[in-house]
Amino acid sequence: MFSTRVPGDRRPNRLSRALASARERRDLIDLTISNPTQAGIHYPPDLLAPLADASALVYRPEPFGLAAAREAVAGTYAARGLSIKADRIVLTSSTSEAYSILFKLLCDPARSVVLTPVPSYPLFAHLTRLDGVAAHEYPLQYHGTWTIALHDLDRVWTADTRAVLTVSPNNPTGSSLGARDADELTRRCEDRQAALILDEVFCDYPLREPLEDAPALAGPGCLLFRLGGLSKMAGLPQVKLGWIALDGPEDLVVDAMDRLELICDTYLSVSTPVQVALASLLERGADVRRQILERVRANYASLEAWVGRARGATLLRAEGGWSAVLRVPATTSEEDLALDLLERGGVVVHPGYFFDFAHEAFLVVSLLPEPDPFARGVARILERVDAA
């Protein structure tokens, strides 16, 4: 293969250096944007006013978070048809912190293993390393839709495996966890006494029909930790609040909550103002969420139309989220193609190796940009690919 990069490698390279120098260009079309607050989404000027609620002047340390805030999160699950009680909700300062808390709960540093999917966002390699946990990667495979390569999952599973991480919808593949894969994961976790960590931060952004929870995840026989947060649900990455929702056999959940109480009480990292404001932010953030959903759906439909007229690129089917994957002919390396698009076309894209795709050549584009620059950027990509 053309790439010489280490999977998940974020060290400076030709592409990052070229991008740093190109940022001054006013005509640059950034198709890697992941920040909704800089994507032309309208935010009410007073959206964050609830953070100034006077009741937040009184500090009431609660390891799992204030009861009203946990009730508000439970309400979001109820709206999805999931019965998760508020006393099974644990508030965190972010989804990243939620992972760190769960690694502390489930793992022994320098010994335990967690299984992480690829392709996926390269955050897991850093989070596991920071907590002294080994990450073994299991691949997703694409045959019209993305599924888990179960043989490879079993191959990397060891006696020290304590948890399996899955993301639904996945970033960047946009794939959701189907019933077959959900059943296989929960069965393995139950039989092998491991936990299942389900990252659902993009679940509010189906690109077609609403995403349905896989039946196997209802009343699982293993510990199940669902992760969510304000960053995606309300389009507020600057307002730091995430959560963990516990499900599974009652005895396992009670034991986990007891141990989580010590971990969370040790840090008490979630600020009071955001907890007091949470119910309002979730309610008023619904309009921001609607705008983002309309944006990513419109851009995905536009991308489908553009690719349908092209000769060289294929759009891999996505079900949800803010990203899309293009498979392109491997006539040059992904990095060279991304560099050419940047320097000659003024378009920023992610090469597939950023997300640990198993081979070349793939390009990953964000669905968040405003429609006009998005369409112009896609046209330039396909023009370059077709010419090759």
Tell me the CATH number at 341: 3.90.1150.10
> Same domain for 308 and 279?
no
pLDDT > 90? residue 5: no
- What three-state secondary structure class fits 234? coil
> Same domain for 150 and 172?
yes
> Same domain for 232 and 350?
no
pLDDT digits (tens, 9 = 90+) for 101-143: 999 999 999 899 999 999 999 899 999 999 999 999 999 999 9
Structural domain ending residue among the three candidates 284, 303, 327: 284
pLDDT of residue 1: 28
> Same domain for 291 and 279?
no
What's the domain count of the chain?
2
Structural domain contains residue 4: no
Structural domain contains residue 146: yes
Structural domain contains residue 136: yes
pLDDT digits (tens, 9 = 90+) for 326-367: 999 998 899 999 999 999 999 999 999 999 999 999 999 999
Structural domain contains residue 5: no
Q: Which of 117, 97, 84, 116 is nearest to 248 (CA)?
A: 84
> Same domain for 373 and 362?
yes
Structural domain contains residue 183: yes
Structural domain contains residue 323: yes
> Same domain for 149 and 105?
yes
> Same domain for 174 and 237?
yes
> Same domain for 76 and 192?
yes
Pairwise CA distance, residues 308 & 158, whole Å: 44
Pairwise CA distance, residues 52 & 71, whole Å: 20
Structural domain contains residue 345: yes
Structural domain contains residue 226: yes
**Looking at residue 265, which CATH number applies to its domain?**
3.40.640.10
Q: Which of 136, 201, 134 is nearest to 174 (CA)?
A: 201
Structural domain ending residue among the three candidates 284, 304, 328: 284
> Same domain for 174 and 33?
no
Q: Which of 327, 335, 312, 336 is nearest to 387 (CA)?
A: 312
Structural domain ending residue among the three candidates 284, 301, 324: 284
Domain span including residue 28: 14-42+285-387
Pairwise CA distance, residues 125 & 134, whole Å: 9
Lowest mean pLDDT among 23-32, 92-101, 111-120, 248-257: 23-32
Contact 318, 173 (CB under 8 A): yes
> Same domain for 382 and 294?
yes
Contact 273, 53 (CB under 8 A): yes
> Same domain for 299 and 237?
no
pLDDT digits (tens, 9 = 90+) for 314-325: 999 999 999 999
pLDDT > 50? residue 264: yes
> Same domain for 257 and 301?
no
Count of CB atoms situated within 10 Å of the CB of 85: 14
